[in-house]
Chain A
Amino acid sequence: MMQQRCKSLVLTVALLMAATAPLRAGTTEPRLALMRATAVRSTSGRITLTLEGSFSFGDTVQLALPLNVLVTQGEVAASFDLAGDPPTGLGQAAPDAGVISIGERAITLVLPSQFAAGEATAQIVATFDGKPLASNRLRFTL
C-alpha cells in the first residue's frame, strides 16, 4: 500500500515536471536555472542541500513568485516552497525539513530523512502570469 502511494506521488510529481518542461521561462519571464548542488551530511545522516543557480531573485522578492523546488530520488519525491513549510509529496510528515535559505544565487534546503546517499535530481518550478515555468533538471549525487 505504502509503495503504491509512493508510486502515485512520484507519478504526480513526474507529471507536473513533464507538464512544466516545455514551458521553460521565456525572455520576459522570470529566469530559472540550476547549475550546481552541494550536499552536507549531519552527524545523524540528515542531508542539507545547497542548490546554486539563477532564479530572478529580485522578482522573487517583489513579486512573491511561488517558487517550488522539486527534489527526487528514485521513488522519493518532495516539493519545497520558499516559505519554509515542510515539504509535500512524501505521504508522511517531515517537520524538520524545508527551505532554510534563499539567496541571490543559492537556495538551501534540509531534506527529509527519506533521502539517502545516491543519485538525485532537483528542479525549480514556478507559476508566472498563470503559466507554469520550470528550470533545467539538475542531476547530482547526495
Chain B
Amino acid sequence: MSRTLRVAALVVTLCAAPRLGRAASVVFAGDPVDPSNGVPYEILPGFPLVLSGPDGVVGTPDDVINTATIGDIDMVVRSGSVAAADVIPPPTAASPRSAWPVGVAGSSGSGGVEIPFTVFLSDGATSLGAPFGHLLTASDMDGIPAIVAVFADFDGDGFIGPTNADASGSSDSSREVGELEPVGRAVAVFNGGVARGSVAIRSGGPASRGGLKVALTALALTGPFDASFFGGNIPSGPAISTALPFYPERDLSKLIRDRPVPALPNSTLQQVIRFASLPHADAVRPLALRLDGSSPTIDVAIANAQPAVRVAFREYLEAGRLALLGTSGPASYVRCHLIPVDRWGNWADPPPGFTVSLHAAAPLQVLRPRHRGESVTLRSSSGVRVVARVAAGSSDGAEGVLSAEHSGVVVGSLRYQVSAGATRALADVVVPSIDAPTIQAAIANVTDRNHDGRLVVAVRAGIYRENVLVNRSVELRGDDAATTFVQGDGTSSVLSVTAPDVVIRGLTAIGGTSGFALSGPSTQLVASRAWRNQATGVSVASSAVLVWQSAAVENGADGFTFNGANAASCTDSAALDNGGGGVVVSNAQNAQIERNRVAGNATGGLTMTTTTDSTVTDNQSVDNFGPGIQIGGGEAGAGGVASGRPAGSPQNNQLTNNLSGGNDGDGLNMDSTNGNLVSGNALDLNKGYGLFLRRSTDDDFSATPGVQGPLGDNTAEDNRRGDFFIRTN
C-alpha cells in the first residue's frame, strides 16, 4: 500500500470507526437515526434531512433531501449571561428581556469588549409556552465544549449570508459571501446543559451608524472522547448546532490541519466552523440567518468599532492588495473612498479634527480631493472620495504608492503597478444577459462584435453555478475575485481550459475537484483565486502558462501544481492553508517561481522534482507543516509527508533570495540534486534542519564565481535539529 493510501485509510478509519455502534447523547432522544449504523443524523434545526450524494459534499445538486424529516431544536445560544431556567428564554432580538449586549471590536488586550453568551441544550419539546424547548440537563454532555461562532451583517440587510430576500435582491448575493466567515469564535464547556462564556470579535461598525449587527451561533460535537478519534482530544459523536448560515463542513480532516488539542476556553482553536459549499441565495428554504429575532436558536448583538487610528482605501481593503492600473482609459484611474478605520481595519468614526493629506508617487496623479498634498478633514465615517490617474504615456511596469498622511506619518497606503494588460478591452458579451445567461453560453457564442481582434467575456459580480469548459481562445473577465464566484458541482474542475491563449481575470473558482485546470498553452490566470476545492487549487499542465497575482487558498490538496509545464511562471501569488503542498513543480523546464507567499500548507511549501533550468527566487515559504522548500526526493521523517513524493534529479536551477522559516520540516531540503545555484536564502527557525543536503553533487551555494559548498552565502539560524546537515547517501 502506498504511503498516501495508508494515510488516507488512516483518516477514514479515524473518522468512521468511533461512529459505529456508539451510544448517542440523550440530546438525540427521539431523533431520527441512520439505520445503517444507529447513529443520529445531523440535521439543522427547522431544516429537512440533507444527505450528501456521490460527491460527498452537502449543499450540492446531488444531495438527497428527505423533506419528511425535519430537524428539531437541540441547542440555542443567547447573548448575555442568562440564568438557567426550565423554559429556554427568547433571543434578545425578539423580546424586551434585555438590551442587546454591545461589544467593541478586538481582544480584551487591545481595548476590545467581549460579548457574553449562554448556550443551552434543549429537549426540542416546543410549545406555545416554551417555543424554544426546555433546558435539557444532559449529564453526558458535561465537559463537552460548545463552540460559538459569530457572523457579521456587513451589508446591513438584516441577514447573514447570501440572500435574495433583502432589499437588494440578487444584485449583492456574491458580496454577502464574505459574511460566511466567522468574525469571532470562542469555546465554553457544558455543565448541566448550560455553557457560558464570552466571545471577542474582530469586526465592528461606526457607533454613529448604530454599529455592526452580529449573529451568535453555536455547534458542539457530542461525546464521548474516544482515544481512536483524533487522539481522544475531540468528541467523536454526531454534531448538534443552532441554525447556521450554511451546511457546515463535517470532514474534520479538512478542518484540523494541526495536531488536535482539546477545545477549551483558553486553548487555541482551529477553523472548525466553515461552509461545505456556498449556500443558494434563492433556495426554497434559504440558509441565510434572519437577525430580526425570528430565528429561534440564535441571537444577535451589536459591535462598535474602536476609534479610528488610520485610513483605508475602501475599494482596496484587502491587506497588501496591489492596484493594477492600465496605461489608458478607465483602468488607469483609481476611484475609491478614503475612510477612517480602527486598528482592526473596521470602518469607524473619526476622532475630532482627523485630517489627512494625500501623496502620490509618479506616475500617479491625485485629481480629487483637489487640494492634494494639503490636509483634508474626515468629518464623518463616510470619509472622502479619492480619484487618481496614471499620467498619459506612463511605461508598463511602473510602480508606486498612493499614501495618506496624518500628523506626519503614513496612516494608509495603496501600492499600485501600471500594467498594459490591465487596460481593458471592450467586452463583446456580458454575463448574465439574454445573449449569455451562463459563462458557458457566452464562451460558445461570443463573437468579436467590436472588431478589436479579441473575444472578451465580461462576468458581472455574482455566483455562477456551473462547470465551465473554456475551449475557445477567449478572455474571461470577472468583476473581482472577491465578488465573482464560479461554483462547481464537485464532479470536475470548475474551470477547465483546453484552448490556447486564454486569459482569466478576476474570478474565484470554488467547490470543484480542482479550481482551475489549465491545459491550454499560453493561458494567463490573473488576479484570480481557487478557494476550497476538493483537491488541487490550480493545476497547470501545459507550456508557457502565466499565473500572476492569484491565490490558492484552503484547497483539499496542493495549492498550485505545475506538471510538465515548461516555461510556466507563477509570480506575485499566494498559496495559503492548502491540504497538500503550496506550490509543486514537477517534470518542468524553465519555470519561474518568483515573489510568491506560501504559508500554512499541510505537506510543505515549495516542492520541485525533476525540474531543470528553472528560477525560484524571492519567495517566502513560512509556517508550513512540512519542509519550507524541497528540491528532489526529500528526507523521510523531516517534516515528513512531502518525502512521499517521487525522487527526481533537479538540475541547473537557481534558488535565490528565498525566505524559508518557521516550518515544521526543514527550511531547505535537497535530495539527489545536481548543479543548482543556491544563494542568498534565509533558513531560520525551522523545526527540522535549516539546510538538509543529501545525495547531491556540484550544487553551488554562493553567487560568487566558483562552486562553493554549504552554507555559502545562505544563512541559517535557530533551526531545531541543526542549521545544516549533509549526507552523501
- A33 x B408 contact (CB < 8 A): no
Q: Is the CB of B408 within 8 A of A46?
A: yes
Choose from A63, A100, A134 the contact partner of B411 (Cβ within 8 Å).
A100
Q: How far is the CA of A32 from the CA of B622 in the complex (A)?
A: 9
Q: Is the CB–CB distance between A65 and B109 below 8 Å?
A: yes
A35 and B408 in contact (CB under 8 A), knowing A56-B268, A62-B269, A136-B685? no
- Find out whether the CB atom of A136 lies under 8 angstroms from the CB atom of B684: yes
The answer to whether A58 and B599 touch (CB under 8 A), given A40-B410, A99-B343, is: no
B727 contacts partner chain A, Cβ-Cβ < 8 Å: no
Q: Which residue of B lies closest to A57 (CB)?
A: B202
Q: Does B319 contact A (CB under 8 A)?
A: yes
Q: Is the CB of A52 within 8 A of B597?
A: yes
Q: B580 in the interface, Cβ–Cβ < 8 Å? A: no
Q: A61-B201, A64-B200, A105-B320 are in contact. Are A28 and B259 (CB under 8 A)?
A: yes
Contact present for B623 and A40 (CB under 8 Å): no
Report the Cα distance A135→B686, complex, angstroms. Answer: 10
The answer to whether residues A27 and B259 also contact, given A33-B599, A54-B599, A62-B199 and a CB cut-off of 8 A, is yes
For A44, the closest partner residue in chain B by CB is B408
Residues in B whose Cβ lies below 8 Å from that of A32: 623, 662
The reply to whether the CB of B688 lies closer than 8 angstroms to some CB of chain A is no
Q: How far is the CB of B311 from chain A (nearest CB, A)?
A: 10
Instruction: Output the residue of B268, B341, B408 with the most chain A CB within 10 A.
Output: B268
Q: How many residues from B make CB contacts under 8 Å with A?
A: 59
Say whether B359 faces chain A, with CB atoms less than 8 Å apart: yes
B 97-108 to A, binary, CB cutoff 8 A, 1 in contact else 0: 000000000111
- Using known A-B contacts A35-B622, A48-B413, A138-B659, determine if residue A62 contacts B599 with beta carbons closer than 8 Å: no
CB distance from A118 to the nearest CB of B (A): 18
A76-122 with Cβ < 8 A to chain B: 82-84, 96, 99-106, 108, 110
- The smallest C-beta distance from B682 to any residue of chain A, in angstroms, reads 7
Contact residues in B for A137 (Cβ distance below 8 Å):
684-685, 717-718
> Is there a chain B Cβ closer than 8 Å to A41's Cβ?
yes
Smallest beta-carbon distance B320→chain A, Å: 6
Residue contact B108 to A28, C-beta cutoff 8 Å: no
A82 CB → nearest B CB, Å: 5
Does A52 lie within 8 Å of B319, measured CB to CB? Answer: yes
| Chain B residues with CB below 8 A from A96, complex form | 407-409
A40's partner among B112, B403, B622, B682 (CB-CB below 8 A) is B403
Which chain A positions have C-beta within 8 A of B465?
A: none
Question: How far in angstroms is the closest Cβ of chain A from B123?
Answer: 30
Q: Does B607 contact A (CB under 8 A)?
A: no
B110 at the interface (CB under 8 A from A): yes
A50 in the interface (beta carbon within 8 A): yes
Q: Does B292 contact A (CB under 8 A)?
A: no
Cα distance, A48 to B310, chains bound together (Å) = 12
Q: B314: shortest Cβ distance to chain A, in Å?
A: 15
B345 contacts chain A at the CB level, 8 A cutoff = yes
Docked Cα-Cα span, A28 to B233, in Å, equals 12
Rounded to whole Å, the gap between the CB of A43 and the closest CB of chain B is 6
A28 lies within 8 A of B109 (CB): no
- Bound together, the chains give a CA A72 to CA B509 distance in angstroms of 42
Q: Is A75 an interface residue (CB 8 A)?
A: no
Closest to A22 in B: B718
Q: Is the beta-carbon distance between A64 and B109 smaller than 8 angstroms?
A: yes
Contact (Cβ within 8 A) A61 B718 = no
Taking A46-B408, A58-B269 as known contacts, 13 extra A-B pairs with beta carbons closer than 8 A to each other, sorted by chain A number, are A21-B718, A22-B720, A34-B662, A35-B661, A46-B409, A52-B320, A54-B599, A54-B623, A65-B109, A83-B110, A100-B411, A136-B685, A137-B717
6 contacts between A and B (CB under 8 A): A34-B622, A50-B320, A64-B110, A102-B110, A102-B345, A106-B320
